[in-house]
Amino acid sequence: MSFNFRLKSDKLFFHFITYLKRYASSRVEPFPIPFHTVKPELAPQQYINKTVTYAEDITVENQHEKLFNLLLPLWKTPYDEQLKIKQTMVNQTFEQIGRAILWDRRIDTRVLKHIEFRKGDFCHVESIIPSVFIENYRSKDDLSCGFSVDGQKTIGFYINSKNGKSSRSVCVPPLYLPNMKTKHKIVTKHLNLFIKHHSLAIMENVSENYMKKNQYWRSAIIKTNEKNELMLIIIVHPQTLSKDELNTMKQDLVNYFINGDGRECNITSLYFQPCAHSRCFGDYELLYGDEYLFEIYNGKKFRISVESPLVGNKQAMESVYELVMKHAQIDKDTIVLDIGGSGIGVYSVLSSPLAKRVYSIEPLQSAIADGQYNAKLNNCEDNIQWMYGFDEAQLHRVIQKVGEMNGTDTKIVAIVNPSRFDLSSKATAALRSVGNVQKLIYVSAKVDQHAMYHFYELSAGDKSKKTVLNNAFVLTKVYPVDAFPHTINSEVVIIFDRVN
């Protein structure tokens, strides 16, 4: 007991001495560093007094308004006010991030000097870039089958119960959502008519019911390009259906959407996927139309396949791509690392004509196939090397290999987009360890605790547990783009520079 008391006393004395050292320091800090026992957290913003919607609150009369409140909490707010709210949210988010990083005892002293030299905020947040369109802007919608508030088969979005039991969830068709394209609403209307009158049952969106017998129609994905060409993907649970019975389901879809009343949808591509798991890759069958859609981003043409990720707001994302290219400062002596955000290869294709070499790291084989095709389509395939895989060890090896292959004098710019896949601590360690990565551009629609941890690791000092460290990165500028009107979310482009 005496020993424990002594340990506690020593610990208190150590913290007291540390406090005195900080207090006596002549260093002027841009923020007072809080002396907490835990790191400051990225607290949820309190700008919107949003009423949480539960399945128990839903009626036939209020279901659409409740869905608006759930998915689009700013739908009643004038757009100018929406932008002010989002600007304030981004400002406060990065102020909190700055306070938390400055609190961290591992922060690199060169990062602190850089911040002190600026004598301002931890990083500069630019004015939010408005969306070109505030309605009918979504290029992709994922819909689930379920039961409506009056017990009818339907397809739409789920509203869960208060106690979290999915069995009491309600599915609301999105027939009036302002951000949904008119053509998508027409498809939704016909999907509702189709499944309501089909003899086979729908599958409830309940994880424990994935293997429940006699439930088949699962979900649908709708994609459109700027030309309004439309790809519809129908996902079903095959259960124990025979090949002939599955063929009958496919024929029913063709009969309705291509030859019947669903012709109003004017579908360009109709796909069918049997999937017995929570999520499946591959096994898509083209029932009708073109195999691909094509879209133009920042003057380059891209192929979109059935598995390709598709941006929700094309014009807003073109602003993001433009910002990334502007601040990457790529020239003929620059190596570009496209990490996690390759998708259909947009960053790689846009970078290739400017760069010495581009390395694109992608965890999906189908996305690599799209990227390779799009590179060839834009006559830049010889300047891009595609790398499959996203596990920690492989990504670390690839980043280090790129650094070794191109010498310590070669400037490397890393474009990191972890929106679809989490960036690991080993990835940030690899980016730190390759000294010629002079600039890092981080693009994300979600800045949360996980992202803040990455920022810690990028700015950590010599007290880090990492075995290999080069100079830290400092977060210098943030560019918010409103890619999601009527929601509280923004796409952000975050610029990191290596400190010397």
151-170 pLDDT, tens digit per residue, is 999 999 999 888 765 557 89
Q: Which residues pair with 411 in a beta bridge?
A: 334
Q: Worst-scoring range by mean pLDDT, 10-24, 46-60, 91-105, 372-386?
A: 10-24
Percentage of the chain beyond pLDDT 70 is 80
Q: Burial-class residue 17 by CB neighbours within 10 Å (0-12, 13-18, 19+).
A: exposed
> Domain 140-297 adopts which CATH fold?
OB fold (Dihydrolipoamide Acetyltransferase, E2P) (2.40.50)
- 116 carries a ligand binding annotation: no
Predicted confidence (pLDDT) at residue 461 exceeds the cutoff of 70: no
Measured CA to CA, the distance from residue 348 to residue 344 in angstroms comes to 9
Residue 442 is encoded by which pair of tokens? 């981080």
Q: Burial-class residue 3 by CB neighbours within 10 Å (0-12, 13-18, 19+).
A: exposed
Neighbouring CB atoms inside 10 A of 413's CB total 23
CA distances from 256 to 190, 193, 283, 363 (A): 9, 10, 22, 36
**pLDDT, greater one: 37 or 306:** 306
Q: Looking at residue 42, what is its pLDDT?
A: 60
**Planar angle of CA 156, 251, 285, nearest 5 degrees:** 75
The predicted model gives 92-119 an average pLDDT of 76
- Amino acid at site 267: I
Q: Burial-class residue 384 by CB neighbours within 10 Å (0-12, 13-18, 19+).
A: buried
In which band, very low, low, confident or very high, does the pLDDT at 16 lie, cut at 50, 70 and 90?
very low
The CATH code belonging to domain 99-131+313-498 is 3.40.50.150
Phi, psi of 471 (to 5 degrees): -55, 150
Percentage of the chain beyond pLDDT 90 is 52
In which band, very low, low, confident or very high, does the pLDDT at 201 lie, cut at 50, 70 and 90?
very high
Predicted confidence (pLDDT) at residue 297 exceeds the cutoff of 50: yes
Q: Looking at residue 214, what is its pLDDT?
A: 82
Closest C-alpha among 408, 411, 405, 416 to residue 440? 416
Cβ contacts of 78 within 8 Å, gap of 6 or more: none
Q: Looking at residue 33, what is its pLDDT?
A: 38
- 362 carries a ligand binding annotation: yes
225-245 pLDDT, tens digit per residue, is 999 999 999 999 999 999 999
| Residues in the chain, total | 500
Measured CA to CA, the distance from residue 402 to residue 387 in angstroms comes to 11
DSSP secondary structure string for all residues of 272-339 = EEE--SSS--S--EEEEE-S-EEEEETTEEEEE-TT----S-HHHHHHHHHHHHHHHT--TTEEEEEE
In which band, very low, low, confident or very high, does the pLDDT at 417 lie, cut at 50, 70 and 90?
confident
Q: Looking at residue 26, what is its pLDDT?
A: 38
Give whichever of 246-255, 327-336, 364-373 has the largest mean pLDDT.
Answer: 246-255
CATH 3.40.50.150 in the chain, residue ranges: 99-131+313-498
**Residue holding tokens 């990720």?**
309
Neighbouring CB atoms inside 10 A of 21's CB total 9
Predicted confidence (pLDDT) at residue 481 exceeds the cutoff of 90: yes
- Amino acid at site 145: C
CA distances from 70 to 50, 67, 447 (A): 8, 5, 20
pTM: 0.86
Residue 265 is encoded by which pair of tokens? 């949808």
8 Å CB contact between 490 and 435: no
CATH 2.40.50.1070 in the chain, residue ranges: 140-297
Give residue 282's Cα distance to chain centre.
22
In which band, very low, low, confident or very high, does the pLDDT at 394 lie, cut at 50, 70 and 90?
low
- When the pLDDT of each residue in the chain is averaged and rounded to a whole number, the result is 83
Predicted confidence (pLDDT) at residue 65 exceeds the cutoff of 60: yes
